[in-house]
Amino acid sequence: MAKKEDAEVLSIDGHDVRVSNPDKPYFSRDVKLSKLAVVQYYLSVASGAVAGIRDRPSMLKRFVNGAEQEPFYQKRAPDNRPDWLRTVTLSFPSGRTAEEVVVDNAAGLAWIVNLGCIELHPHAVRTNDLDHPDELRIDLDPGPGVAWDDVRRVAMETKNLLAAMGLRGWPKTSGSRGMHINVRIQQRWSFTEVRRAALALSREIERRAPTLATSKWWKEERHGVFLDYNQNAKDRTTCSAYSVRPLPDARVSAPLRWEEIPDCEPGDFTVLTMPARLQAIGDPNARMDDAAGSLEQLLELADRDEAAGLGDAPWPPHFRKMEGEPARVAPSRAKSAKKTAAKEVATKKTETKSRSKMPLLVVANSPHKDAALAGLERWKARHPDAAYHLAVDDVLVDSMRGRSSTWTRVRVNLRNVPENSRPPQETPDPDDDPTRAWRETRGQRS
């Protein structure tokens, strides 16, 4: 007789929620947390966590083997969902549709966490209007080596700009190294218009704090804190308030009051500290829905940028080419393509020059970030002269997302390395891109 699977049934909001494998380790490094402990954390902060996702379709990012293993993405709601759980059908830029989960209460929250969703990923729309966001999302993403104090300074600059535009921002730690600022807006503008407003805001912050902030999409052009305007494109999601992040200390995306920012540290907010914090101070986001503002002034700023010659900026790669969008190719690759078209014969001399014009090298691809970073260290050991000249932001650590999996790509920008010390592109070490087989198969079919 097969052994019956261990499970614990929780009674929540009048619904029974089954937690399978409750003792399964979900965190085992700095803190020790079982699957059931993560569910219980979410129930202890449900008043805040549910407020951030209620009435919103959510993408499921499932860490079925715990926070230390790679997740997969699931847009479509599972077939074996309870009949009391709502769904709504979303359309995507690809033309496809998906019936996505909508969580309205603590029972639904516990149910998706049981699926392995240690992070919550709601869309920026409500179910009553899936084409007009009610939230402008500002994602402050620091580059490698950028100090947390710089993130805080950019956040405060953003607060001041929002106030000048007649808007109120609600800050929270990202739960990693960055910060999110959400702005409740009236449901009057399309995704394209909201993204346009976000781009105008990002460019204005870059003008106000040019040494700290950047709006540049291509990583090879960035410095400091990147304001990711594309988080406002349709189909994009960011983790919501009280989400647990897959870091060894089980830190949390924590909503903040503006006066807390000068002294806060991301590591202060974890699964172990957030329940007591919520009980002591309440939810800093509690009145967000009362502060819906207008994007008119930001869109006027976008008009002024366009009149001055600043057009659109690159969209995410899975979107179709948009009207007014510049060439969707990294500047280094664009230079290389232009040079290749001008040359009829490739000689060793022209190869050397081409390498000097295209100073980006891929050094590692791996589903495991630690393995990719170890590959970077091996590359540095093989090329110490080049490594010596690298600046902090010359190392680009990209979190790559395929159809249902993620992996880490590490690149180095050789712009600060003398041409005679620049190594050639080698086979990445490791070179484990989980989407390669799928892309090769698709290429053969086409």
Ordered strands of the 395-401 beta sheet: 360-366, 406-413, 395-401
Compute the distance between CA of residue 204 and CA of residue 300 in angstroms, rounded to an integer: 12
Q: What is the DSSP letter of 2?
A: P
SS3 437: helix
Could you give phi then psi for residue 134, rounded to 5 degrees?
Answer: -110, 15
CA distance 153 to 157: 6
The confidence score (pLDDT) of residue 359 equals 85
Please give the DSSP secondary-structure letter assigned to residue 14.
Answer: T
Residue among 327, 330, 317, 315 nearest 411 (CA): 330
In sequence order, which residues have a C-beta less than 8 Å from that of residue 421 and are 6 or more positions away?
385, 386, 389
For residue 420, what is the DSSP state? Answer: G
Question: How high is the pLDDT of residue 370?
Answer: 82
- Other C-beta atoms closer than 10 Å to the C-beta of 132 total 18
Give every CB contact of residue 27 below 8 A, 6+ residues apart in sequence. 33, 38, 66, 67, 68, 248, 250, 271
Amino acid type, 159: K
pLDDT given at position 442: 53
Q: Output the tens digit of pLDDT for each of the chain's 446 residues.
A: 334 468 999 999 999 999 999 999 999 999 999 999 999 999 999 999 999 999 999 999 999 999 999 999 999 999 999 999 999 999 988 788 999 999 999 999 999 999 999 999 999 999 999 999 999 999 999 998 899 999 999 999 999 999 999 999 999 999 999 999 999 999 999 999 999 999 999 999 999 999 999 999 988 889 999 999 999 999 999 999 999 999 999 999 999 999 999 999 999 999 999 999 999 999 999 999 999 999 999 999 999 999 999 999 999 887 888 878 888 788 877 766 555 545 544 444 444 444 335 588 999 998 888 888 889 989 998 998 888 888 877 888 887 766 556 788 999 899 888 888 899 999 999 998 777 665 555 555 54
How far apart, in whole angstroms, are the C-alpha atoms of residue 268 and residue 374?
A: 28
Cα–Cα distance between 381 and 386 in angstroms, integer? 10
293 secondary structure, DSSP code: B
CA 215, CA 433: separation in Å to the nearest integer? 28
Query: Which pLDDT score is estimated for 365?
Result: 92
* CA distance from start to end of the chain: 49
DSSP letter (8 states) at residue 20: E
State whether the Cα torsion 369-402-317-363 is positive or negative.
positive
Amino acid, res. 148: W
